[in-house]
Amino acid sequence: MSAHTTVRPAQRKTDTFMVFESGIFMGRIEVPRYSQPNEDGVKLDRDKRLSLAVARVIDEDVFEGMEYEVLTDIEGDFETVTYEQNPAFDGVWDPEKKS
């Protein structure tokens, strides 16, 4: 028996992050909790997810080491994220792209 169609597996769950640079809103992005939306997905730790949010919002040439602020909860605190290029991010599914 398969899962009900309204049940979303853990690998398909996402969170919305908002990215700012020096207090300027750069973008809002949905970030997956797992690398793939299926049983092959590996859980991404919080730091990787924050870095992925920055990498996907900042699609222009940026310098490694630049700092961004990420907000995960409208009433929460900003978290500072230092941008690092990570080729592994290319393999992480993008919930905002229709496949």
Confirm whether 39 is domain-assigned.
yes
Confirm whether 5 is domain-assigned.
no
Q: Where are the alpha helices (DSSP H) in the chain?
A: 46-57
* pTM attached to this predicted model: 0.84
Confirm whether 37 is domain-assigned.
yes
Confirm whether 7 is domain-assigned.
no
Enclosing domain of residue 53: 13-91
b/e per residue, 28-64, with b = 16+ CB within 10 A? ebebbbbbebeeebeebeeebbbbbbbbbbbeeeeee
Confirm whether 53 is domain-assigned.
yes
What does the pLDDT profile of the chain (99 residues) look like in tens digits?
555 556 678 899 999 999 999 999 999 999 999 999 999 999 999 999 999 999 999 876 667 789 999 998 878 899 999 988 888 898 999 998 875
- Domains contained in the chain, number: 1
Confirm whether 99 is domain-assigned.
no
Tokens of 27: 């973008």
Confirm whether 69 is domain-assigned.
yes
